[in-house]
Structures are given as C-alpha cells and as structure tokens.
Amino acid sequence: MAFVTKLSEKSAPVSPKKHDEIEAEFFFFATEADDRLILQIDTYGRSSRDMPGKISQSFQLGVPQMRVLKNLLEKKLASLPPE
C-alpha cells in the first residue's frame, strides 16, 4: 500500500500500451489522528491469478493529491468531443 505524496503529469512513452483489464474499488475515510480525508483505491488482479479476488495494489490520495487529479481529469476531458 502506498500514500501518494506527489502526483504530476509526465510525457507518455513512445509506444504506450493498454494494460490488461481488472476491477478496482475505492472508498473514502478520515484519519483518526487528525480527521484528514483520504481516498483509497484497491485494484484486483486478473481472474486467472493464483488467488483471484485478492487485492493486488492499493494506493491512497490526500485532499491535495485528489485536487491535482481532479484538475488533470477536467482539463483532459474538456478537450474531448462529447460522447
């Protein structure tokens, strides 16, 4: 598990490839110590794994990182044609 302290955009690799499709879940919680809001995203591996349904990766974002992600998504989505 990881708490993301810095979230920044970088250039895409020369030949980016779409990864295998998996499922993910998320939830919000407040820290006990100082009541800070945290977003946690848990990803699950492919169904062909030895232990399907087991969490593969987890990461957490605090409010500043959530705002960075929100701004990046809004900027990118605004440049796309409507669906």
- Cα dihedral 73, 45, 55, 3 in deg (nearest 10): -40
Dihedral sign for Cα 57, 58, 63, 66, please: positive
Domain boundaries, the chain: 23-83
Beta pairing partners, 59: 2, 41
Q: What is the pLDDT of residues 42-73, one digit of tens each?
A: 999 887 778 877 899 999 999 999 999 999 99
Its pTM stands at: 0.84
